[in-house]
Amino acid sequence: MQNIVRRKTLAAAVLIAITAGGAFPAWAQDYPGKPIRLIVPFPAGGPSDTTARSIAEGLGKVLGQPVVVENKPGAGAIIGSEVVLGQPADGYTLLMASNVISTGKWLYPSMSFEPVRDFRAVAGVFRSPHQVAVAPDFPGQGIQDLIALAKREGGRMNYGSGGSGTMPHLGTERFKQVTGVEMQHIPYRGSAPANVALVAGDVPVHFDIEFSVQPLLKSGRLRSLGVTALKRSPQFPDVPTLDEQGIKGFELYSWFGIVARTGTPDHIVAKLNQAINQVMETPEFKQRLTALGAEKIGGPPAAFEKMIKDDYRLWGEVIQKANIKIE
């Protein structure tokens, strides 16, 4: 009799488990039940915007709901971030994030939120190394020539960037800390004006993002002393890495990825991650990245989260040592 009761109890438990297990996937499949907003905290037309639109188009097809891109530029990506944080943590408002997720709190101590705490990683999308761009008549061929010239100048040498707190700015500060050279920062209002100044000879060097500077490099109006990756760029295979030239382990990337508000349910993040990775495997998206001179990140949310946190620690050290603050 006890065996019969025990078997009935076990059968009931198995039935409950099967029912519950079947209910969860159905619940997960309910998302998305309406259009999704993808906030881009940068102006329309740039690489992050055009890539976001490519991702959005593909996501709409995979998820069966429109993904609408909205540009909310300003205040170093803070405005767009606040738009996302002002919405429920339900996966219907996402952010096309950049390195600012890792650097923002260090640069803007009075920021009303903590990016690493208040956002959770969904999927890394792409990253681009930087090229150490100089004018054609720069008196040197490689990164060691730049170091030697900067040391001879004794701190009088300038470098350009697209603005204070940008990755070209922070990356050059890290380069200074690693090599011991001194250079003075000249910020411009964007990468394009900084490169105009470089072509004109107003500044001698700009550690610019490859996808921004590549037209000038390919046209010969600028040339590169090195690329800030551990392997050479497919776009510029003749340009050696800084690692090859003696700056061992030096890497600098500008990256973009999609994040959601902390508190967004795991099953929604998992579904978005799977869909984004699926879009990134399409020939159309791969072709877009090749044209940008960028490389796909992809992978699970945990890998993207680790990248963000590693960057947070690295750039925190650089920013504090250089005493950079933007208010």
Long-range residue pairs from 113-117, CB within 8 A, at least 24 positions apart, any chain: 113/81, 113/82, 113/85, 115/81, 116/308, 116/309, 116/312, 117/262
Task: Please name each of the domains of the chain with its CATH number.
Answer: 35-128+255-322 (3.40.190.150), 129-227 (3.40.190.10)
> Has residue 283 got a pLDDT over 80?
yes
- Orientation angle between helical segments 100-107 and 78-85, nearest 10 degrees: 110
* Residue 21: band (very low, low, confident or very high) from pLDDT cuts 50, 70, 90: very low
Where is 269: in which H helix or E strand?
helix 266-280
Using alpha carbons, select from 47, 35, 163 the residue that is nearest to residue 93. Answer: 35
- The DSSP call for residue 76 is G
CA pair distance 24, 169, nearest whole angstrom: 47
pLDDT at 76: 82
Where is 206: in which H helix or E strand?
strand 206-209
CA pair distance 227, 242, nearest whole angstrom: 6
CA pair distance 134, 140, nearest whole angstrom: 10
Whole-model pTM over 0.85 = yes
The one-letter amino acid code at 2 reads: Q
As a whole number, mean pLDDT of residues 20-46 equals 76
Number of helical (H) and strand (E) elements in the chain, helices listed first: 12, 10
Per cent of the chain over pLDDT 90 is 83
As a whole number, mean pLDDT of residues 114-126 equals 97
As a whole number, mean pLDDT of residues 308-327 equals 94
Higher pLDDT, 76 or 133: 133
Residue 209 Cα distances to 18, 80, 255, 326, angstroms: 52, 22, 10, 21
How many CA atoms within 13 Å lie on the side-chain side of 131? Answer: 28
pLDDT at 29: 66
Higher pLDDT, 78 or 11: 78
CA pair distance 105, 267, nearest whole angstrom: 29
* Residue 12: band (very low, low, confident or very high) from pLDDT cuts 50, 70, 90: very low
- What is the secondary structure of 145-177 as a DSSP string? HHHHHHHHHTT--EEEESSTTSHHHHHHHHHHH
As a whole number, mean pLDDT of residues 288-306 equals 93
Which segment of 10-14, 82-86, 255-259 scores lowest on mean pLDDT? 10-14
Beta bridge partners of 36: 67
Given a contact cutoff of 8 angstroms between Cβ atoms, the answer to whether 324 and 107 are in contact is yes
CA pair distance 42, 304, nearest whole angstrom: 21
pLDDT digits (tens, 9 = 90+) for 195-223: 999 999 999 999 999 999 999 999 999 99
Mean pLDDT over all residues of the chain?
91
Higher pLDDT, 5 or 253: 253
In terms of phi and psi (left: phi > 0; alpha: psi -120 to 50; beta: otherwise), the region of 223 is beta
pLDDT at 222: 98
pLDDT at 291: 84
Beta bridge partners of 209: 130
Which segment of 43-47, 122-126, 251-255, 312-316 scores lowest on mean pLDDT? 43-47
